[in-house]
Each structure stands twice: as C-alpha cells, then as structure tokens.
Amino acid sequence: MLFNEQIIRAQVTKALLDLGRAARLQTGAQVVVGCSTSEISGGTIGKNSAPEIGEWVASAVLNVCAQKEWIPVFQCCEHLNRCLVMPRGAARESRYTLVNAVPQPKAGGSTAAAAWRMLEEPCLVQAVQADAGLDIGNTLIGMHLRPVAVPVRGEIRQIGHAALVAAYSRLPYVGGERAVYQ
C-alpha cells in the first residue's frame, strides 16, 4: 500500500469526522487518539517510530477538533504509562491529575510528542474519561473512554498499514426491565 502525507491526513480526517457523526459529538467533547506510527508505516508497534507521520496525524486531529470545537487528547505509549497529552485548560476544567513528563518519539510516541509541540499550552494527565476515540494501530485506548464503549465501523478501516478501531461512549442503561429510557 502506498501512502503519503495527504493520504494519511485525509484518512485521519475522514475517520474522525465519521466518528463524530456516529457519536453525535457536541462542542466540548473529549476525543482521545492513540496512534502507532510504526504500524502506520508497516512496522511493529513500538519498533519503528516515525516522527513525520506523528506530525501528520496530530495536525489532522487538531484541525478537525478546532473546527468542531472538540477537545483533542493524545494517548502516549506504555513507556509513559499511557498518559495523555491535552490542552492544560481542559485538563484543569475536568480536574484530571497532571503528571510530569514530556513525550518524545521513542518515549511517549511520535504522535503524542508532535501534539505536545503543536498545542498552545499542553500538559500530560494520568487518565481521562473521553467521549469518543480513535485507536490507530492497536494502542489500547479503551482505558480512556467512559463506559459504555460502542464500536463504530466507518468507511476508513485502516490508516496507512495500521488497523483502525473507533468507538464512542453512551450512557449506561440502569434500572432493569421496568425502567424507561430516553
């Protein structure tokens, strides 16, 4: 499969817009993105970090989130315990626990490192409860979604060579068989 900057940006943009439509995301929704640039380029997760691909993905996510007024959240790799890069103001508003590290391509991941550089006032938080997310390359973002996660199957099934899984969260149904739901 051949790919380049324009193709990767277009795939990420379409996948994110499809997710937003399926989830009916509102202004202020938190969208978490986990991304293995190694997988996008055809390698194995954690083995072939590609900073330029991380920049393409982060930039596409930031552009869509700015247009839709969603809050972008970028998951780091296991070297930073899957902490997340996000705007400091949104982290404060959500009362998330901040941690002290700066992601690097080989310790945090290329996409998270790129997002750190691109955000006006970035911070790193320990965990989030996002409204929706994209998992590019089996990065295991599920721990950062609110329950109950609902998978989304959009037109885009992979970014470059990486498998794509999209999901959003819905309110849990409680109360049993006599309950009435909205």
> Quick one: angle between helices 5-23 and 51-68, nearest 10?
40
Picking from 53, 61, 52, the residue whose alpha carbon sits closest to that of residue 84 is: 61
* CATH code of the domain occupying 5-178: 3.40.50.10360
| 3-class secondary structure, 6 | helix
Query: Residue 179: what pLDDT?
Result: 78
Rounded CA separation 5/58 (Å): 12
* Residues 111 and 35 sit within 8 Å (Cβ to Cβ): yes
Q: What is the pLDDT of residues 122-172, one digit of tens each?
A: 999 999 999 999 999 999 999 999 999 999 999 999 999 999 999 999 998
Kindly list the distances between the CA atom of residue 80 and the CA atoms of 9, 10, 58, 83, 114, in Å, as whole numbers in the listed order.
Answer: 26, 28, 18, 6, 15
Query: Residue 2: what pLDDT?
Result: 56
